[in-house]
Amino acid sequence: MAMSVSDLGNVVVFNHPLIQHKLTYLRDKTTSHRPFRGLLYQIAGLMVYEATRTLPVNPVEVDTPVEKTIGARLGAKVTVVPVLRAGLGMAEGVLEMMPEARVGHLGLARDEITLEPIVYLQRLPRDIDAGPVILVDPMLATGGSAAQAIRLLRQAGATDLRMLCLVAAPEGIRRLAREDPGLTIYAAAVDRQLNERGYIVPGLGDAGDRLYGTV
């Protein structure tokens, strides 16, 4: 289902048919915000299955209707951190699979001229260091927003940190590998490059606008 592309950095790419099928609809410019929202939600749910494979679990005793047995429960508090706005669409899908996770919010907007991120909101659990943190944002372009989000999360105490994105550009992956070598990136696709406006090519356009119909 997933493969590593080690020459770019610590990235795991999902080559699963269901994910690629749904991603192709997301790329299609005729897909409107309503199906876009549903597809993003579904892909995030599929991706989190693989991205959480290494979460710690504790053995617990459980009484089935037949006899006692030993099961497993998640052993740490997981925090999902969407980068607003577009990350919200992925976070919903992740939470469907992991409803017990806490949610921290980071509001970042990329300045369309400088391409630098502006931080407008930060609401994180105080004990974010109590377990794994999953940063979610569908687009990893220059990597400026993700690098800023990761700095804020590390400052807040996040140690076990992974990032879930939909489409990543090689430029963004390389930047994160340089700035935070301990981070694993899970991506549905690694696209060719950025264009002169910092958009991912072929990409899917502006994820936030397409998700919320503000195109």
Q: In angstroms, give the least distance from the CB of 7 to ligand PRP.
A: 20
The question of whether 206 is a catalytic residue gets the answer yes
188 scored as a contact of ligand URA (CB under 6 A)? no
Say which entry of ligand URA, ligand PRP, none residue 115 contacts (CB below 5 to 8 A, set by partner kind).
ligand PRP
- Reference 106, options 67, 146, 64, 149; nearest CA is 149
The question of whether 191 is a catalytic residue gets the answer no
The question of whether 180 is a catalytic residue gets the answer no
Query: What distances in angstroms separate CA 138 from CA 61, 77, 209, one per listed residue?
Result: 38, 23, 12
Burial class (CB in 10 A: 0-12, 13-18, 19+), 213: exposed
Name the residue with tokens 């989000």: 149
The question of whether 160 is a catalytic residue gets the answer no
Among 90, 95, 141, 188, binds ligand URA (CB under 6 A): 141
**Catalytic pick among 52, 79, 110, 210:** 110
- Reference 183, options 168, 200, 199, 193; nearest CA is 168
Burial class (CB in 10 A: 0-12, 13-18, 19+), 70: exposed
Of residues 134 and 207, the one with the C-beta less far from ligand URA: 207
Say which entry of ligand PRP, ligand URA, none residue 200 contacts (CB below 5 to 8 A, set by partner kind).
ligand URA
Say which entry of ligand PRP, ligand URA, none residue 143 contacts (CB below 5 to 8 A, set by partner kind).
ligand PRP
DSSP secondary structure, 104-171, as one string = -EEEEEE-TTT--EEEEEEE--TTGGGS-EEEE-SEESSSHHHHHHHHHHHHHT--SEEEEEEEE-HH
Quote the CA–CA distance of 53 and 55 in Å, as a whole number.
6
Say which entry of ligand PRP, ligand URA, none residue 199 contacts (CB below 5 to 8 A, set by partner kind).
ligand URA
Of residues 137 and 180, the one with the C-beta less far from ligand URA: 137
Q: Where are any strands of DSSP class E within 64-104?
A: 68-74, 79-84, 102-103
Q: In angstroms, give the least distance from the CB of 74 to ligand PRP.
A: 28
Encoded one letter per residue, x for contact with ligand URA by CB under 6 A and - for no contact, window 192-211 reads: ------xxx--x--xxx---
> Which positions lie near ligand PRP, rule CB under 6 A?
83-86, 108-110, 115, 117, 137-146, 172, 198, 206-209
Residues forming the site for ligand URA (CB under 6 A): 139, 141, 198-200, 203, 206-208
Catalytic residues: 110, 114, 206, 209
